[in-house]
Amino acid sequence: MKNSSTKLIDPFGRTISYLRLSVTDRCDLRCVYCMSKKMTFLPRQQILTLEEMESICKAFVELGVKKIRLTGGEPLVRHNIIHLFNQLGGLDGLDELTLTSNGTHLDMMAQDLKNAGVKRVNISLDSLKPERFRKITRVGDLNKVIAGIDAARNHFERVKLNSVIMHGENDDEILDLVNFSLKRGLDITFIEEMPLGNIDSHHRGSTYCSSDWVHEIINKQYPLISSTESTGGPSRYYRIADSTSRIGFISPHSHNFCGDCNRVR
């Protein structure tokens, strides 16, 4: 990585303008495709302090990064995380501060996040059926997440849902999730299951669904119009006639996107 006129350019000539910062490996859910039931987390002394994270973010912004997304784990379970959001929201040169969350704490924290300068939020939602949601997350309460989504709608400029579709698990809910998003004016992105994290009792080979298959199902009900709009990430976006919502696809397996990567994590 080299610095050219205060810009980060990697060895492949890609300009880096986007930082994703994982503030914790801990989460209050245990999604079957992400974590094992009895997860072993990093010792706390191995995790960066909030002050160290702030310093790192400042350095990246000075080198031309314009967008920072805080992720996890679940970032909102990190103690005193609002302080970090407040510090980052005041950085000169940063255009966008965003968050990826499971939604369980947004009902109580949305106002503080908005005050800190967060304008967009991504929220994970893999099922609209309470019992199935609990099965996928192992411990999740769908009502808390829906409350978090509604709070996000009331506080942020744009809210996007992220859904991982799995054969035999929730592949019958694709249109339900789309309709849920359309009704609330939300974007939704369908993400191919990725071989990440330490998991158990879940077989990715049998549950994997390609983005093309999901696209085909949606397109039969709602003809999808290709969009050139981008949020600086790997999503390929489509629009539906007479709707402000966007339908996105992140396809690490079927449509490799590494060549256009503009981020560090």
Q: Which of 192, 188, 197 is nearest to 222 (CA)?
A: 188
* Residues spanned by the domain of 120: 14-37+45-264
Six-digit token pair at 257? 């996107």
Mean pLDDT of 181-204: 79
pLDDT tier for residue 199 given thresholds of 50, 70 and 90: low
CATH label of the domain that carries residue 94: 3.20.20.70
Model pLDDT, residue 4: 43
Residue 8, domain member (yes or no) = no
CB 47 within 8 Å of CB 41 = no
Residue 6 forms part of a structural domain: no
254/256 Cα distance (integer angstroms): 6
| Over residues 73-87, mean pLDDT | 97
Q: Give mean pLDDT, residues 167-172.
A: 96
In this prediction, residues 211-237 reach a mean pLDDT of: 88
At 132-154, the pLDDT tens digits run 999 999 999 999 999 999 999 99
Q: Is the pLDDT of residue 31 over 50?
A: yes
Residue 1 belongs to a domain? no
Band (pLDDT 50/70/90 cuts) for residue 160 is very high
Cis peptide before 73 (omega within 30 of 0): yes
Number of domains in the chain: 1
196 domain residue, yes or no: yes
Residue 3 lies in a domain: no
**Mean pLDDT across the chain, nearest whole number?**
90
pLDDT digits (tens, 9 = 90+) for 37-70: 887 788 888 899 999 999 999 999 999 999 999 9
- Coil, strand or helix: which one is 146? helix
Q: Is residue 129 part of a domain?
A: yes
pLDDT of 261: 63
pLDDT confidence band for 2 (50 / 70 / 90): very low
Whether residue 2 is contained in a domain is answered as no
79 in a domain, yes or no? yes
